[in-house]
Amino acid sequence: MSFSLDARVELTFKQTADGGRTTPVLLQGFKYRPHLQVADGEYLGVVCGLGPETPVSPGETASCELAFTYSPGVSYGQLVEGVVFKVMEGSTCVGAGRVLERYVYAGVGAQRKQI
């Protein structure tokens, strides 16, 4: 399965004692699939593709590139540069993040960054 990378984000995970994850998470390899939620909006499914080579522990911050899992069927229009969001695993908020860059693919025959 291939994914198109759609944005670069910064993620800050809560400490375990504050309701965050109990284990580190690897933000590369298209394995971590949280949902992002802007304000109290819809859950937006994503998959983290390119990030640090080592797992990110609770309480740490890291940036990664991600793909919008359900695009184009679901609108990811809320995820514009600078917007802040919650990182959700099910109904649990495990962190917060911010969109650093949104990749735009325009025009007929435009190529998206394929991994």
For 7-102, CATH gives 2.40.30.10
| Helix, strand, coil fractions of the chain, as percent rounded to 5 | 5, 40, 55
Give me the average pLDDT of each 10-residue run along the chain (115 residues).
Answer: 84 97 96 96 95 97 95 91 97 97 66 48
Q: What is the pLDDT of residue 71?
A: 86
pTM of the model: 0.88
The residues that bridge with 61 in the sheet, in sequence order, are 12
CA distance linking residue 60 with residue 55, whole number of Å: 10
